[in-house]
């Protein structure tokens, strides 16, 4: 897995956007998440209530070395992936998304309301599950005060299934703390398969070198 292209784009992108768009220079911000499976660069503006409103999420596939964005297909209400092969395409995508957001584009609002609704439904469903946590949050790795990833294991009381909670905390360049939580539910049979697969292939993995980035 290589983040060389991701880091190069991240370093240059903000300056490029500021130089081609005075409005973005005034109110546009970006934050970088390197700890996710698919690292991402997210773009946002700050409201008068000191809240962040995101208008574009730029994802990076480290295995194929590709940037992409997710787009909602209006007819099928399915998410599709659009590959952005070079930095000019990336700049154009972010720039266009920014102006659609600032102008209150209906398509942008529909896409984001759809995703937010789906996220809320998933959160509400999980909150209704009664989980008995067997461990406290255990830190998997951390880097200074910028990134921390923790895991917690529990059991669903009703079904006896296992739950693995992953919490990713990231401090942005604006000193804002972002929290991303993922919960993975699995059976005992699945657990044995997962453990065996990881044990058989763990030697293929590399430790994350923060100093490199």
The pLDDT of residue 191 is above 80 = yes
pLDDT classification of 10: cutoffs 50, 70, 90: confident
| Contact predicate 43/30, CB 8 Å | yes
Give tens-digit pLDDT for 104-152.
644 444 344 334 444 444 444 455 578 899 999 999 888 877 888 999 9
**For the chain, what are the domain ranges?**
4-125, 130-212
Question: Which strand ranges, in their side-by-side order, compose the sheet holding 40-46?
Answer: 28-33, 40-46, 52-61, 66-73, 78-84
Give tens-digit pLDDT for 15-61.
888 888 888 878 888 888 887 778 889 988 887 777 778 888 899 98
Using the Cα atoms of residue 178, residue 39, residue 164 and residue 80 in order, give the sign of their dihedral. Answer: positive
As a whole number, the mean pLDDT across the chain is: 78
Give tens-digit pLDDT for 48-101.
777 778 888 899 988 788 899 987 665 655 667 899 998 999 999 988 888 888
The model's pTM is 0.47
Share of the chain above pLDDT 90, in %: 13
Does the domain made of 130-212 have the CATH classification 1.20.1250.20? no
Q: Which residue has the higher pLDDT, 199 or 20?
A: 199
∠ CA 112-118-120 to the nearest 5 degrees? Answer: 100
């Amino acid at each position: 897995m290589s983040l060389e292209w991701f880091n190069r784009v991240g370093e240059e992108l903000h300056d490029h956007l500021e130089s081609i768009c005075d409005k973005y220079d005034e109110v546009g911000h970006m934050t970088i998440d390197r700890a996710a499976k698919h690292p991402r660069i997210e773009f946002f503006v700050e409201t008068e209530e000191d809240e962040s409103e995101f208008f574009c999420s730029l994802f990076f596939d480290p295995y194929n070395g590709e940037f992409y964005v997710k787009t909602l297909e209006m007819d099928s209400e399915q998410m599709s992936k659009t590959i952005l092969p070079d930095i000019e395409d990336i700049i154009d995508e972010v720039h266009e998304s920014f102006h659609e957001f600032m102008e209150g584009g209906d398509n942008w609002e529909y896409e984001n309301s759809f995703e937010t609704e789906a996220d809320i439904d998933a959160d509400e469903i999980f909150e209704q599950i009664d989980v008995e946590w067997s461990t406290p949050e255990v830190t998997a790795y951390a880097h200074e005060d910028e990134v921390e990833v923790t895991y917690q294991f529990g059991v669903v009381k009703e079904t006896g299934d296992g739950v693995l909670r992953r919490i990713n905390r990231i401090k942005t360049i604006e000193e804002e703390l972002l929290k991303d939580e993922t919960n993975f539910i699995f059976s005992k049979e699945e657990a044995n398969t997962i453990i065996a697969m990881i044990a058989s292939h763990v030697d293929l993995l590399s430790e994350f070198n923060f100093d490199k980035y």
